[in-house]
Amino acid sequence: METTSLSRTVDDEFAPETTYLNTSTCGLLPRRTVEAVKALAEAIATGRGAGSGDFEAVDAARAGFARLVGIGADRVAIGSSVSVHVGLIAAALPPGAEVLAPEGEFSSVVSPFAVRGDLKMRYVPLDGLAGAVRPGTALVAFSSVQSADGRIADLDAVRAAAAAHGARTLLDATQSAGWLSLDAGAYDYTVTGGFKFLLCPRGASFLTVTEEAQRTLPAVFAAWVASDDPWNSTYGPIERLSPTARRYDEPPAFLTYHGAEHSLALLGEVGIDALHAHATGLAARMRAGLAVLGHEAVPGESAIVAVPGLGAREPELARAGVVVSNRAGNLRAAFHLYNTEADVDRILDVLSG
């Protein structure tokens, strides 16, 4: 998308009242998304709807996400949170299975495995993840982009190492989906929370499962929506699960998914390449400005900028109308469609004192 077209899209869809650099915590909702949620809420409040929402909106969100990550919609399950998706995968592992993960990985990616108590958890530095895969590793669970500091994993190396040793892969794309190109079909499982870079209302999340992995992943959380014939499966046990990844669906939060449909459509219109160039360009501008101020950011080409040791300045920035986050002692700023060079200059100006 050309710069002028991107600017028009931003002007039409967003109206931030702060210098908002906190998408890694929560993305801003586009206007079209807000209107869709309002419309459904009004319909429910007035009794004009036949129920609490429309499954067509859910399937449109499913398809929109599938297009962003390069797979068919039949490989995508919808849900409410990353931890629930990961819990499903954790429940399927046999006792004693080894799960390999990066040190400091986001809690939702590792806790469902750790709390079982009968799995072998092994943690290594992110840059040593591929080299730590071994014949006894059952699953490598990791994020494409680290929440605490924005580092991008060596995705090709980890996939190759896992394949060489017969390990499955679980990728959390919550901090990257939308701005970093992803082939979800290259991983046994991916999980993605929708309320950050996908700009969805909280309560939308997506699980992808390859056909091979689906053979051994039981639908232990199955509800009537997981049936091959949902509307004739509302009473008694499900007779036949959906043959697609929809067998892992949770009953949808309709208000959330009526909004998610429109957020994902917007990202599809913009395109990953355009968003990647915009967001990483602003992040590079911030890293360069920080260096001039004598602050060393975590190196890389991520849309997330983290500055070790500066996290404590988050309240000062908030008072100045600059919204960032403090994660693991890092000052963390994240860039998206609605950010501009003026936003970068503003945070640098405040940090300069």
Instruction: Summarize pLDDT for 298-316 with one digit per residue, the tens.
Output: 999 999 999 999 999 999 9
Q: Could you say which residues of the chain have pLDDT below 50? A: none
**Structural domain containing residue 276:** 3-30+271-351
pLDDT value for 249 = 98
Q: Does residue 320 fall inside a structural domain? A: yes
Residues 140 and 96 in one domain: yes
Q: Does residue 43 fall inside a structural domain? A: no
Q: Does residue 48 fall inside a structural domain? A: no
pLDDT value for 5 = 74
pTM across the whole model: 0.96
Residues 336 and 276 in one domain: yes
101-120 pLDDT per residue, tens: 999 999 999 999 999 999 99
Q: For residues 128 and 138, is the Cβ–Cβ distance under 8 A? A: no
- Specify the number of domains making up the chain: 2
192-240 pLDDT per residue, tens: 999 999 999 999 999 999 999 999 999 999 999 999 999 999 999 999 9
pLDDT value for 83 = 97
Q: Does residue 264 fall inside a structural domain? A: yes
Residues 299 and 238 in one domain: no
Residues 282 and 144 in one domain: no
Residues 165 and 94 in one domain: yes
User: What's CA 169's distance to the chain center, in Å?
Assistant: 16
Residues 245 and 276 in one domain: no
Q: Does residue 45 fall inside a structural domain? A: no
Which CATH number is 244's domain given?
3.40.640.10
Q: Does residue 47 fall inside a structural domain? A: no
Q: For residues 1 and 267, is the Cβ–Cβ distance under 8 A? A: no
b/e sequence 105-133, b meaning 16+ C-beta within 10 Å: bbebbbebbeebeebeeeeeebeebbebb
Residues 293 and 192 in one domain: no
Domain final position from 269, 284, 307? 269
What does the DSSP 8-state code read for residue 244?
S
How far apart (Å, rounded) are the C-alpha atoms in residues 173 and 111? 17
Where would I find the H helices in the chain?
3-13, 31-46, 55-69, 82-92, 107-114, 129-132, 155-165, 211-214, 254-270, 272-292, 314-319, 341-351
pLDDT value for 66 = 98
Residues 261 and 290 in one domain: no
Residues 143 and 251 in one domain: yes
Neighbours of 96 (CB within 10 A): 10
Residues 234 and 345 in one domain: no
Which CATH number is 309's domain given?
3.90.1150.10
pLDDT value for 308 = 98
